Amino acid sequence: MTIDSWFLQLTPPAWLTCTQQQMFSVQWHPSHRGCQTTNRTISCLNYSCSDWQYNSMPDSRNQSCLMGAEDTVSLLACVFHAWEEWAGLGQVEDYLSVLEYLLWVFTPLAIVFIVPFLIVILLYLSILFLHVYKRKNQLREAYSNNLWDGARKTLATLWDGHGAIWHGYEIHGMEKIPDKGPALIVYYHGAIPIDYYYFLASVIIQKGRTCHSVADHFLFKIPGFKLLLEVFSVIHGPQEECVRALKNGHLLGISPGGVREALFSDETYPLLWGKRKGFAQVAIDSQVPVIPMFTQNVREGFRSLGTLRFFRWVYERFRLPVAPVYGGFPVKFRTFLGDPIPYDPNINAAELAEKVHQAVQFLIAQHQQTPGSILRALLERFHTKNKGQ
């Protein structure tokens, strides 16, 4: 049976169209052995049979297109499609389609996870409000006496609520802090001493006292911190000023390790005090007891990358504490206060510094499993057993 000709309706791919989704009517002539467009459709392209057969040959298609162009419009159309193919605009449309599909698929999943998260945030804010409201009578009394006392009481309540919610904060041995009179509190410095902030809040709420603190010089250079440091009686640490605060009957907190301990200590909890003994001399000159303090899991809440050589070099060379700190994990925090070391006129500063060092080291050994584990510290939120039990 001889077939002279027949028509075939085709839906061309993107690289083949002059207009979107244009249908081609192609007449095949066995005698001519070529493909031609018919009068029934308006086409700007004229392809040879090889162009239809070998779709993976764009150069041949473009060449055939240009050779077969009969007028200026067809030529311009060929040039435009060649440029479109070279620029990969068709692929861009495919990528956008994929992104649109992924957005359609994952948007419900994102909403499913985000909405409960927002509800949890609202619950935490509600609990925090209840912590403040529970102490409203104390706040009212504080504001009636002194403006800054009221501000300190308010912020202490907020920080106390944050510690209770996020870390299940506990403090053991608060009875060792005197209700009146001076004492020097020496503590281990975490990457971020947030445990010390909770301790200060507890002292304000439970003892009605403001504990003065010694901080590094760089803290006073941070914009906006001046007022906060003044309200909470933070000093930069000259021995004379420390002695003056203690002789005036205040509590004073200090970390001999300071920034160095914050940056370069790790989950094994080494004390990086070096040969520092100025704090011991302050205690001797003021004739006050020294109370050691340590917070369990403080290194699991926040950790530092200061153990990397580059950050240590920067600090040693320029005294810039630029080591990144990461974390904020809701691990269990327990602050332990050791037995006070009474004033002894028969020992010198070096001997007292060693004695305090051993006392803090004893608290670490008694209450902290080393090396510390973030997972274990998280699980401790669900039970009360600690290393000392």
Give catalytic residues, as residue numbers: 189
Between vectors from CA 200 to CA 196 and to CA 204, what angle results, nearest 5°? 170
Residue 224 Cα to chain centre, angstroms: 22
CB distance 370 to 268 below 8 Å: yes
Nearest-angstrom CA–CA distance, 71 and 80: 14
